Structure 1
């Protein structure tokens, strides 16, 4: 075999190594991720002394060098984001983000030969604590029927399952897959807990629903706090008091003022203005008017000016008669 055949064979073997030497690793969003190489590559690195970490650029065939290792020394190109562990030649991403989800390559070289190890990193957001909410509730003939919804506000590719954590036999009443669980049970046999588990490939969280009280607000189920309820009731009472006060004030304003005489009799006020015929005076002195206020007890005068009979004295029972106040304005010439 010629030298060219051997070279082509070595290149083919290197390509095969590169294709087979690949794994998928999971990273958690916001947490450190450690990219490790197998023991075989660690031995080759110590033997050959030349290695590097690279990552593929998004949307292109280019690669970016993250670290170079040569003869016991290394150079880091993203020190603020990554850390190299020379004991096992692993590379740690300090704070994993969505942009770190890509293909990483570790290469060991000795002269013209190069051996590759690929790591496909997948980044997942962990699930948050799930909450259980009652979608439907029905009570009839001493039994309870519930439709429960389990949901987590955060997380990638979240799946849900239901189970019972009690040691007693619940007949599989809490078993199920999916976020919704329909249960029906007798109130005499209540007292078990249905546990919902929300999970993805990097995390898992639980929430429990207690069946001891059908439809009662349980842990993980939204409920109104006592302080909030008291505040709402107090606010309602204040609003009612304000509305009643406004109604009373408006009613008093519409009735108008009333006058009461000292002896308790109601007085009626009559406004009358009498003006004498005009008299020519030498000067242009303006005419002044004099107002006369007269208060009389008894009925007001007739419309034709005829005086009425004097008021009768109080009756024997001592009840006061009505008092009428007459306001008269007489305009007189000024001398």
Structure 2
């Protein structure tokens, strides 16, 4: 029997690490993985309800959806009538298993509360980073789409999850203050963190024409100031059926599938799956987490609040 060639222990370990990384990339770097952050410049635009309904619409189209929720009050879980007891930080610190932190709110929709974890991302130890990566990439059911419900009052000025996501959607309503605050958000993130691509979604409007007019005005202003490229994503109309469904903590598509808002969510969900990349090519889950660690260390709150 031939004697196997000897390799030094460090070479074996390095090769094992390379094999593990390659396996993770093959397993999770799938083309259909889409990571989208939803942000707003002010409260009252209906962002969390939008994320909840969009997740439900995506799940009805056969997608497995994971929501990373940065909000503590009026969070996405409450939109489904559910209670979130644990946070991603408990998982990172190995105090809870990921399965304990995940909240299953509907078939194909899970929520991972991350309000506490997201403020600590820039200060995680190597062991905590490894715990985070192992937990996320070791999920029993892999996500096809990850939606981030970004907090409005992040202590660093803007969500690192939003900076690491493939797309950032700025949600606004047709009020003057909402439009002004949305523009201010785009301006500070563009100037502070060199984010040059955003998508615009107009919520609570009366018509497509109104939504297009609002988008056209903010896009023209952003372009003239050299801030960022804005892409129109769609709109959700004012709809009493949506209001009733929200009061019952149910997705509108399930209770009133023929309602204008339900049709709008289905359209946005279908479009989202085919969005062309606005910036760098979409990467897989492992690359997203590594990018998240990177941007968390680069964020300087002075730059964004200046």
TM-score range, shorter chain: under 0.3
| TM-score scaled by length of structure 1 | 0.21
Which of these two proteins has the greater Rg computed from alpha carbons? 1
| TM-score scaled by length of structure 2 | 0.23
Bigger RCO (CA 8 Å, 6+ sep): 2
Q: 1 or 2, which has the higher helix percentage?
A: 2
